[in-house]
Structure 1
Amino acid sequence: MPDLDRVVREIAEEMRARADRGDVATYIPELARVDPGCFGIAVVGGDGEVAVGGDADMPFSIQSVSKVFTLTLALGKIGNLLWKRVGREPSGSPFNSIVQLENEHGIPRNPFINAGAIAVTDVILSGHQPREALGEILRFMRFLSEDPSISIDEVVAASEQRTGFRNRALANYMKSFGVLENPVDYTLGVYFHHCAITMSCRQLAMAGRFLAHNGRNPSTGFSVVSPERARRINAIMLTCGHYDGSGEFAYRVGLPGKSGVGGGILAVAPGRASIAVWSPGLDASGNSHLGRIALEELTRRLGWSIFG
């Protein structure tokens, strides 16, 4: 296999030099301030090898990448009962579509579009106060990444709460169908805050290791989820992890992944590595433009596509 360090460094240099960087998200005011010239990549192998390039240690708002971890927690809490409240199919629609939710009687198409992630958040919240639920999510992220410094950017969370009118509409619509159990403001408060978790590529790649290794943390051998559950989370990442750009991502990159409008992408090379990339400029579907290109290059050079 080509030298991982060298490949990662080369990709980081190539991405930093590119002029086509996409556009930063502007509908969340704080994200509009991020420098589009940033690019980071981190790859964490099962043997503990870590290869990084560019701004791999610069923290950024992970946004919807957090939905991988809230899905994992919700499945741990109620198991397959979750699928009575949220589907598992690709949406083919924008991540904040109201029309689709109306057509499907308040049941979100999958746990990674906004409506689905709000329903998942509601599951985690049930039986807790919002602060307790948020603490549980944050502790889980710190545990997986083995880094107690991971935190929530309160300025980003407040920015989302001020401008999250579409998400409020989605949540209220689901509430009218009984999909949400808790007060809408409580569920949305937890949702906005977990999307505002701040991590670096290195921290995010560390947190995703269990999905690359049959549900286990390879450094400790501790089982986070069962091998079957890890496979199924990866399957949903592959088919639904990039909104209405999920098919294009699977076609070009060939790995399970989850993007966020902060420009981060967590990708999983099963049995091999957990990968995080970050470049704030987005494509038309709301996915990191250079992040996807970098992952395509990585899988091509290393032969890591799950499709051979």
Structure 2
Amino acid sequence: MSTSTSLLDQVVREIADEMAQRSDRGEVASYIPELARVDANSFGLVVVDADGHVAAAGDRETPFSIQSISKVFTLTLALGKVGDRLWSRVGREPSGSPFNSIVQLERERGIPRNPFINAGAIAVTDLILSGHQPREALGEILRFMRFLADDSSITIDEAVAASEQRTGFRNIALANYMKSFGVIENSVDFTLGVYFHHCAIAMSCRQLAMAGRYLAYAGRNPSTGLNVVQAERARRINAIMMTCGHYDGSGEFAYRVGLPGKSGVGGGILAIAPGKASIAVWSPGLDANGNSHLGRMALEALTRRLGWSIFGV
């Protein structure tokens, strides 16, 4: 079922207005000091459909730290480099544990449960780094993001990256633990440097929704008609987003929203309505699982009103 642009515009505006009235906004991430400074009242929502129509409301042009949403794009890059050999170093199962847990990693001999928890994304970053200098690997990731969004102005927030490097003690522990099992092949300092920096990429809701279009349209960029990835790979990335994209809140997100999605502790969520739209929402206040509180509520309202849940109306 196609959605008229006028209806889409109306629904997006209505949801943004409703979210602006809510007082239950969650708690801004404080364990990364730079993120604690973000205005908890910020809210943006952008939906980009197959025709390239952009329905937008709220703070849609304000850049924010995408944090773990970058893991979708590093996973795409890593799969392009080594294909299914990636899965010998990272699993594909939901974790059921916090995103920065070390307990499961110990039990499973250094193999992260999936590429979206911190340990898994660090292992994916290490694979991208292999054979390159950190600056080269980071440049490749940033160029990929700019290419997908068709926007050369996307940059890394160096203050956020530095803040993460100063306080990322648990990520350092995860990386060293994986190094002891040979899952991390490069220098831990180099791998973590690239990881912290790609998590600190700053994008607006509009840029992020544009970057996610290939996942909504079977791996194809609808503006150019060119394939970013094969349709099967796009489908499988979406599957991992559905089952693992919100950490131990993934089941609740699937239940309420019914779309593949990936959250970040900066308050952003990238959601994919296959064949219909790429969606980005940003609200910095987080729930107990580290996912955007109002972001999830806004997406639940969107899918309900438009009938976009992949599980049916």
Name the TM-score, length of structure 1 as normaliser.
1.00
- Unaligned ranges ≥5, structure 2: none
- Between the aligned partners of 2:211 and 2:136, the Cα distance in structure 1 is 21
Letter in 2 for 1:257: G
1:16 and 2:20 are equivalent in the alignment: yes
Name 2:295's counterpart in structure 1: 291
Name 1:207's counterpart in structure 2: 211
Query: Residues 114-163 of structure 1: CA distance to partner in whole angstroms, max 9, x if unpaired?
Result: 00000000000000000000000000000000000000000000000000
Name 2:53's counterpart in structure 1: 49
- Between the aligned partners of 2:214 and 2:102, the Cα distance in structure 1 is 33
Name 2:92's counterpart in structure 1: 88
- Between the aligned partners of 2:243 and 2:253, the Cα distance in structure 1 is 9
Letter in 1 for 2:163: S
- Between the aligned partners of 2:54 and 2:159, the Cα distance in structure 1 is 31
Partner of 1:275, secondary structure, is: strand
Name 1:223's counterpart in structure 2: 227
- Between the aligned partners of 1:164 and 1:235, the Cα distance in structure 2 is 29
Partner of 2:285, secondary structure, is: coil
1:184 and 2:188 are equivalent in the alignment: yes
- Between the aligned partners of 2:197 and 2:123, the Cα distance in structure 1 is 15
TM alignment of 1:192-271, pairs within 5 A: 192-271=196-275
- Between the aligned partners of 2:121 and 2:20, the Cα distance in structure 1 is 32
Partner of 1:29, secondary structure, is: coil
Query: Residues 199-230 of structure 1: CA distance to partner in whole angstroms, max 9, x if unpaired?
Result: 00000000000000000000100100000000
1:32 and 2:42 are equivalent in the alignment: no
Partner of 1:88, secondary structure, is: coil
Name the TM-score, length of structure 2 as normaliser.
0.98
TM alignment of 1:113-124, pairs within 5 A: 113-124=117-128
Partner of 2:234, secondary structure, is: helix
TM alignment of 1:124-163, pairs within 5 A: 124-163=128-167
Deviation at 1:286, TM superposition (A): 0.2
Partner of 2:229, secondary structure, is: coil
Name 2:74's counterpart in structure 1: 70
Partner of 1:175, secondary structure, is: helix
- Between the aligned partners of 1:271 and 1:47, the Cα distance in structure 2 is 11
1:107 and 2:111 are equivalent in the alignment: yes
- Between the aligned partners of 2:128 and 2:225, the Cα distance in structure 1 is 26
Query: Residues 209-267 of structure 1: CA distance to partner in whole angstroms, max 9, x if unpaired?
Result: 00000000001001000000000000000000000000000000000000000000000
Letter in 1 for 2:102: I
- Unaligned ranges ≥5, structure 1: none
- Between the aligned partners of 1:53 and 1:109, the Cα distance in structure 2 is 36
Deviation at 1:17, TM superposition (A): 1.0
- Identity percentage over the alignment? 82
Correspondent of 1:282 among 286, 290, 306: 286
Q: Where do 4+ consecutive residues of structure 1 move more than 6 Å?
A: none
